[in-house]
Amino acid sequence: MTPARIPNALSIAGSDPSGGAGIQADLKTFAAQRCYGMAAITALTAQNTRGVSGVHLVPPSFVQQQIAAIFDDIRVDAVKIGMIATADIASAVADSLSAYPGVPIVLDPVMIAKGGAPLLRDDAIDAVRTRLVPLATVITPNLPEGARLLGTTVADTRAEMMAHAQALLALGARAVLLKGGHLDANESPDCLVFDGGVHWFESSRLPTTHTHGTGCTLSAALAAQLAHGASLPDAVHTAKTYVTAAIGAAHQLTVGHGHGPTHHFHTLWQD
């Protein structure tokens, strides 16, 4: 019997030296989801569980060089895009990926760190909206990010979530997964809108502060599932189930004194 081919997934994002978000979270997630992980770094950050204290941007031309080196040599089965930071980097990534229209792309429009530090310059929002969103198989904004992409107020009901998701779909992505973690409710619903209709994915809100990197982890898990060939609804279901369990197991880790990371290997590190 021929063994199943292990998919290759590429993350294009910023580095988090504390390991809970960004490239580090993506690579852990890819591994946990049975993918070979690769990374093209857009920015170096100085951060920990308490917040971001510095950002050093990678030149756009070098971001392109990293992406080109991977595609020139390695089969890429899915791409996850995270921290972009500037309009020039957004354009560089868009120019690089436009040559590979058949590769699934998950765009997580990272704008603000868990501690409140901005991770996307104002002039870059339009570049993300016009250059990257139309390339995406699915975008995964939270409610504040979705509102900023639309230039409107943050949705605070399920009806407004659905309306925002449909408006975001009109920007050109093939699907939108609008995350409802910011809703003032006991649940944390996510709304998936695509040409197959509207799907709601439910989960209870967990009483924890260990949520550093949850958005990165969800989008990376979603990219990994698409790399495996899963349908979009199935990929979202698997990714959300994985992230919810990773948050629930985060108390097993002792990392930092602020917003701790999720437990990416909760199913693997068993006693």
Identify the CA nearest to 96 among candidates 124, 74, 72, 77: 72
Contact in structure between 41 and 23 (CB atoms under 8 Å):
yes
Q: Which of 22, 146, 180, 215 is catalytic?
A: 215
- Mark whether 214 is an active-site residue: yes
Strand (E) or helix (H) holding 159: helix 158-169
Q: Which of 29, 42, 211, 244 is catalytic?
A: 211
Q: Which of 14, 20, 213, 260 is catalytic?
A: 213
**CA–CA separation, 153 and 16 (whole Å):** 29
Contact in structure between 81 and 132 (CB atoms under 8 Å):
yes
**CA–CA separation, 40 and 125 (whole Å):** 20
- Mark whether 215 is an active-site residue: yes
Token pair in block for residue 172:
């050109």
**CA–CA separation, 250 and 254 (whole Å):** 9
**Strands, E, within 63-115: which ranges?**
78-81, 105-107
Q: Which of 214, 217, 244, 262 is catalytic?
A: 214
Angle between helices 87-97 and 60-73 (to 10 degrees): 20
- Mark whether 137 is an active-site residue: no
Q: Which of 28, 80, 114, 179 is catalytic?
A: 179
Q: Which of 216, 217, 244, 260 is catalytic?
A: 216
Q: Which residue has the tokens 């980097």?
A: 89
Q: How many helices (H) and strands (E) does the chain have?
A: 8, 9
- Mark whether 2 is an active-site residue: no
Where in the sequence numbering do the catalytic residues fall?
179, 211, 213-216
